[in-house]
Structure 1
Amino acid sequence: MQARTPNAAMVAIQSQVPEDAMTAGILGTSRSGQGVRIRADGLIVTVGYLVIEAEQVWVTSDDGRGTPAYVIAQDYDSGLALLGVSMPIGEEYLKPGTCMNLSAGDQVLICRHGEEAPGSHKLIAVQEFAGRWEYLLDEALYTAPAIENWAGAALLNEDGEVCAIGSLMLEIPVTAFETTQGNMFIPLELITPWIDELCLHGRRQIPPRPWLGTLIQEYEGKLVLVGIYNHCPAHAAGLSPGDIIVAVNDEPVTSLPDMLRKVWSLGSAGIAIPLTITRAGKLLRYVVHSIDRAAYHSPKMTALN
């Protein structure tokens, strides 16, 4: 049944990730946050990094009931994940909705596990977000003031539907010279039309984007390679931290979003990506043989005792 109060649909999430997992060094091996039930069968949506590469997941309802859970789907393009539960711990859920009618300046409600009622926050921007882990949203929602325990929080639209999922705390520009601390939310409608497909196959049935295995940061107008995952395409190609990316397929790149779009425009996972870089003042050209990101982040679930 639909939740009598929004917070009744929230669940706490705890996950354990192996020490040798690729994301362990960045995200840790013990992760905690929350998610929200979006169907009466207990289907939970949360932010993907809470459960990426997890071998154990535990969820707890608002009334304290707990159960092991498992990853049904990871959608790397959106950064969202779907979870199933081993035992029912509640049927109350929030209906998925749209962010289309929200605009900067609106007041929105944010639900978190463990709170009696949603909190009121201001939507201060709806704009692009680029993450250094080869991640790009055309439109993300930015709210203030900042909240703690943001990972997997539920943002509600004017109809009381969950329309976005909490992802980050960050400094948000409000003027050319001023920032404020707030949170970034991922629109749920990025996966809503494909939820049944995700539940059936664990992913959308579309060609996966090419993945290089890089961490890239914009710094003083340059795209600096600040990290590379071991045994990933960029590592195999010979790229190194500190390299500066200047072109993709001989086309100059001006920003991280520009670079990512140019990489993805070349084809799906498996395509060869020509990169031009500078290293110690020298102009160098490499070809990176991309792969499907999911091949490196497939969860290996084990039962919790």
Structure 2
Amino acid sequence: MLKALRFFAWPLVVGLLLAMLIIQRYPEWVGIPSHEVNLQQAPISILPQRQGPVSYASAVVAAAPAVANLYTTKVINKASNPLLDDPLFRRFFGDNMPRQRRMESSLGSAVIMSHEGYLLTNNHVTAGADQIIVALKDGRDALARVVGSDPETDLAVLKIDLPKLPAITLGRSDDIAVGDVVLAIGNPFGVGQTVTMGIISATGRYQDQKLNTYADFIQTDAAINPGNSGGALVDVQGNLIGINTAIFSNSTSGGSLGIGFAIPVKLAQEVMEAIIEHGQVIRGWLGIEVQQLTPELATSFKLDSGVLVAGVYNGGPAQKAGLQPGDVIVSIDGVTARDGRAAMNQVARVHPGENVTIDVLRNGKPLSFKAPVGVRPPPAPPAPAATPNKK
């Protein structure tokens, strides 16, 4: 009996051990869920890792001479007594009371766009200025005159008359990508021309940052501070890709928190050329107010995208063409309407007098309209806002 047990015991023990090893290695074979984590390891490569340049000096050498410092001054009439600014006090004593005149100075930057002396800067830098002095990197300075401005993109065009002016090379803002290295060049806090480095953090920031009417901002973490406004955002070759415009800042000094915005050079160039040619930017207008479709509305209309017509101006091009509040714009001239501001920017780029085809959905029925684009009326003065800070 014992001999028989010994004869069968060893195969049984070996079989149990083998079964335990199989269950441990392949638990899914017996219906036990596997807890194995498969990680993907990069293969060993004999090629060197990607490395960035150890210096961006060549980009700075190419771009910095075309970035100028701006010093603006304006005369402020201030009451000699705070009571003189009180409307009730002025009602009884009139406006012919003694007032003090003082000069107010501010700082900014500008980019020399052409050898003929045209510069781009921000409208909020030059607005109301009585005198604008442009100081070049080579030590020269000159008085500038304002050729024109466009508050809706916060851009202004200046002109100076100096010989042998440097001019920046324009890049292609349509080709930039999040993660690209960029350099911001300007005059922060009046310390003189300064270069800071960062990356492109985001693009197309018009839809959630109400900075301007027409601008799809480049967001960057390159340090932008007061005095940088109107300066250059350049790529690693020194080509201009944006005009630095605004930052988000919670500090009283307006210091950088790593969230800055620049106007893409493509838009800035279009605005500059329009101002030089016409003295202003002429934009197309349909006379409608639009809003983005909510997910619930999109589901009810069985649409992936679209723009809801919230209002139609009486006598405007859209009303004359037949559009009504409640219509859902599906496309304009064949371009899918995915965002309200993007759609209106598309219309703004159409020359007034030309027709656009608007495909809409009305009560579930597709309709198409042809509307002659009108001229956008002058914008109303913007209400003051706490944020973001324009620098």
Whether TM-score is above 0.5 comes out as yes
Q: Is the 8 A contact 2:185 2:228 kept in 1?
A: no
| Contact 2:183/2:234 (<8 A) preserved | yes
C-alpha distance 209-81 of structure 1, shift in aligned 2 (>3 A): farther
Residue matched to 1:165: 243
- Indicate the residue corresponding to 2:108 in structure 1: 33
Specify whether residues 160 and 292 from structure 1 end up closer, same or farther in structure 2 by C-alpha distance, changes over 3 A only.
same
Paired position in structure 1 for 2:128: 53
Q: How many residues align?
A: 219
Is the 8 Å Cα contact of residues 61 and 90 (structure 1) preserved in structure 2? no
The question of whether the paired residues in 1 share the 8 Å contact of 2:181 and 2:200 is answered with yes
SS of residue paired to 2:153: coil
Partner residue in 2 for 1:177: none
Q: Quick check: 1:155 aligned with 2:241? A: no
Structure 1 segment 176-255 matched on structure 2, within 5 A? 181-193=258-270, 195-207=272-284, 248=311
Amino acid at match of 2:105: S
Report Cα offsets for 1:32-69 as digits up to 9, x if no partner. Answer: 11011111112111112111233321111113322110
**Structure 2: distance between partners of 1:18 and 1:263:** 37
2:65 matched to 1:8? Answer: yes
Higher relative contact order (CA 8 A, sep 6+): 1
- Give the number of the structure whose residues are more often strand, by fraction: 1
**One-letter identity of the residue aligned with 1:166:** N
Structure showing the higher helix proportion among its residues: 2
- Residue 3 of structure 2 corresponds to none
Shift of 1:4: 5.1
> Residue 31 of structure 1: CA displacement?
2.7
SS in 2 for 1:191: helix
In the superposition, the TM-score normalised over structure 2's length comes to: 0.47
Please tell me whether the aligned partners of residues 7 and 62 of structure 1 are also in contact (alpha carbons under 8 angstroms): yes
| 8 Å contact from structure 1 (residues 42, 90) kept in 2 | no
CA RMSD of aligned residues (A): 4.1
One-letter amino acid of the counterpart of residue 39, structure 1? S
Unmatched 5+ stretches in structure 2? 1-59, 78-102, 251-256, 288-309, 313-324, 327-338, 352-375, 383-391
- 2:335 counterpart residue number: none
Query: Normalized against structure 1, the TM-score is what?
Result: 0.58
Equivalent AA in structure 1 for residue 108 of structure 2: G
Q: Cα distance, 1:181 vs. partner? A: 3.1
Counterpart-to-counterpart distance in 2, 1:51 and 1:208: 27
SS at match of 1:292: coil
Percent identity over paired residues: 19
Structure 1 letter corresponding to 2:280? R
Question: Structure 2: how far apart are the matches of 1:112 and 1:99?
Answer: 19
Task: Give 2:379's match in structure 1, choosing from 264, 286, 293.
Answer: 293
Query: CA distance change for structure 1 residues 204 and 135 in 2, over 3 Å: closer, same or farther?
Result: closer
CA pair 66-147 structure 1, distance change in 2 beyond 3 A: same
Residue 124 of structure 1 aligns with an amino acid whose one-letter code is: S
Contact 1:248–1:263, Cα closer than 8 Å, also in 2: no
Find the structure with the greater CA-based Rg.
Answer: 2
Q: Trace 1:141-152 onto structure 2 (pairs within 5 A).
A: 141-148=218-225, 149-152=227-230
Q: Which amino acid aligns with 1:293?
A: P
Show structure 1 runs of 5+ residues with no match. 21-27, 173-179, 211-246, 252-256, 269-289, 297-305
